[in-house]
A and B are shown apart, each in its own frame.
Chain A
Amino acid sequence: MKVLSPQARRVTTQVSAVARPKTLDSLRIGLLDNTKAPVDRIMAHLARRLADRAAGVSTRYVSKLKTSIPAGPAIMADLRRDCDVLITALGD
């Protein structure tokens, strides 16, 4: 007896990564809060630590508007415009 697989091929996505900066100096770092507790406080802590770590580091904190859905194109467009790299969180 032959039985068929219930799994399926999936849509393929390929994202090209930007080159990573070699140093934190003068880096514009986005901090995207996924709204889970207490990521807002983790990001605030990271902002202080990163600013202390290297010269000219700037951070931009943004929170998703709703926990259950993605940040949305407007937030992501702002982050793309204003930041060189992004730190975000996933899960609880």
Chain B
Amino acid sequence: MLLVSTQFAALAANQCKVLGMPALPRVVLPHPIGGTPLESVLAKVDDAFEQIVAGLTTPLPAEEAADAADVADAEAQPGIDIAGEDPFMQVQEEFVARGWGDGLPLVPPTETRVRQMIAGSGWPGGHVVGAVMPRMGLASIEKIAVNAVMAGCRPMHMPLLVTAVQAMIDPDFFLKSIQATTHPVSPLMIVGGPLAQSLGVHGGSGMYGPGPWSNGVLGRALRLILINIGGGRPVEVDRSTQGSPAKYTYCIAENEAASPWPPLRADHGFGDEVSTVMLYAGESPHNINDAESTSAGSLIAAIAQSMAQIGQNNVKGTSQLLLVLSPEHAATIAAGGYTKDDVRRAIYEEARIPLSRFPAIHVERRLARFAPKRYKDRPLSTMVTLTSCWEDVIVMVAGGPGKHSSYLPSFGAVRSQIRPVLKPDGEPWLAQDVPAQDTRYHPDKEQT
């Protein structure tokens, strides 16, 4: 049986249904539970004690053994016929009423647009990439395409989006946790290789957005897939306490041309011609400004100290972290003779927090409880690391001129995933396989 607070009862019911246990006994305690005096929490448990006993000893209603017929419910809805004077606006209203969007205007997924989008993937519409947690919705090419249309993607974007879904459903990405946590985590889609440029995925100035390049629609399509196929509806399943602007859209390219080091895809063994999509479960970017340092040592120290904050989940030592260096910061560090691995090691060594900076209850209940060997009964000078090893520090280069880099903490033991962008025959999608980029407007052109 499950204990759950009132604010999480709907999520519990949802998960019981998805996991095939709709009648699993649930005892609902008044929220909040965490961060309240222990006496009041235990009083709530005492008040519910008879329910708990009953939950353990009462025969389940017949519905537990019932079939899962409701899975074929409205979830496989065939679509909607739209009539009226302003079909575009009517689509907005109908989709909002069904909880199908993100609050922004949606491109109506007509059969023609979806058919064109499917064609851009190279796959048949019925091909299923996998199940998207936590709802376990089946991400067929057709359903990916519907969401891509709604987000404003064009058919040429489909190879990247299909690759992102392939990466996202890897069990080690723990998408179920990412979708339901109270933490403001969102999958960041990082595109590398020749397709980034040919498909207009921007890694230069302002790459997090806004901008008229492909980043916005790709990240938005992935979010709509999370909501509509994965069931990560805000409040209902996505229990993020405050949400995040990164949950609207979160997609960048690596600025490989401006990096002094090999790109992420090379770190993972992919060749020059192979484009990749990496997914990293991150918070919104935390800015790190340093226009003063002229040496690698000074700059790394400033960056590491900026990262060393006690409220982040990384202090539990189970997460990866992502440092996105601006090209100018990267150049300063590389001029000091640092390889990328040197930077990763240095960040691991220097981005640490002494136990003395944590409130005592954090040390006892947050650190020593989960890592007793490192933090239980240790001197207050003991340093807390942000990852368990230097290999969990991910470093990449993106952005344009200026002295701003960014740190993206993660939220838990999820592992980033990188995948090559491949055609159905297993060969890489190449730049010449996609339509030539529309160069009438491009931010780099504006700068030159």
- The answer on A and B forming one complex is yes
Q: With an 8 A cutoff between CB atoms, is A81 at the interface? A: no
Are the C-beta atoms of A13 and B18 separated by less than 8 Å?
yes
Are the C-beta atoms of B52 and A87 separated by less than 8 Å?
yes
Q: With an 8 A cutoff between CB atoms, is A85 at the interface? A: yes
Are the C-beta atoms of B21 and A17 separated by less than 8 Å?
yes
Are the C-beta atoms of A89 and B67 separated by less than 8 Å?
no
Are the C-beta atoms of A14 and B110 separated by less than 8 Å?
no
Q: Which residues of chain B are near A8, meaning CB under 8 Å?
A: 75-76, 137-140, 143, 228-229
Are the C-beta atoms of A11 and B138 separated by less than 8 Å?
yes
Are the C-beta atoms of A92 and B146 separated by less than 8 Å?
no
A-contact 0/1 string along B6-42, CB 8 Å cutoff = 0110011001001111011000000111110010011
Q: Which residues of chain A are near B41, meaning CB under 8 Å?
A: 38, 41-42
Pick the contact of B138 from A9, A35, A37, A89 — CB < 8 Å? Answer: A9
Q: Which residues of chain B are near A7, meaning CB under 8 Å?
A: 74-77, 100, 137, 143, 228-229
Show 28 residue pairs from A and B whose CB-CB distance is below 8 angstroms, ordered by the A residue: A1-B81, A2-B82, A2-B110, A3-B79, A3-B110, A4-B78, A4-B142, A6-B150, A7-B137, A8-B138, A10-B136, A14-B68, A15-B21, A19-B59, A20-B57, A36-B33, A37-B33, A66-B413, A68-B313, A69-B177, A69-B413, A85-B1, A89-B2, A89-B4, A90-B3, A90-B12, A90-B15, A92-B7
Are the C-beta atoms of B71 and A88 separated by less than 8 Å?
no
Consensus secondary structure, chain B interface: mixed
Q: With an 8 A cutoff between CB atoms, is B162 at the interface? A: no
How many chain A residues touch B (CB < 8 A): the figure is: 51
Are the C-beta atoms of B147 and A6 separated by less than 8 Å?
yes
Q: Which residues of chain A are near B384, meaning CB under 8 Å?
A: none
Are the C-beta atoms of A17 and B136 separated by less than 8 Å?
no
Consensus secondary structure, chain A interface: loop
B414–chain A nearest beta-carbon distance, Å = 6
Q: With an 8 A cutoff between CB atoms, is A91 at the interface? A: yes
Interface residues of B (CB under 8 A from A): 1-5, 7-8, 11-12, 15, 18-21, 23-24, 31-35, 38, 41-42, 45-46, 49, 52-53, 56-60, 64-65, 67-68, 71-72, 74-83, 87, 91, 100, 108-111, 114, 131, 135-140, 142-143, 146-147, 150, 174, 176-177, 181-182, 224, 228-229, 231, 239, 313, 316, 318, 365, 369-370, 411-414
Q: With an 8 A cutoff between CB atoms, is A26 at the interface? A: no
Q: With an 8 A cutoff between CB atoms, is A46 at the interface? A: yes
Q: Which residues of chain B are near A41, meaning CB under 8 Å?
A: 38, 41-42
Q: Which residues of chain A are near B313, meaning CB under 8 Å?
A: 68
Closest chain B residue, CB of each to CB of A88: B2
With contacts A37-B34, A66-B318 known, is A11 near B67, CB below 8 A? Answer: no
B-contact 0/1 string along A26-51, CB 8 Å cutoff = 01010000011111111001100110
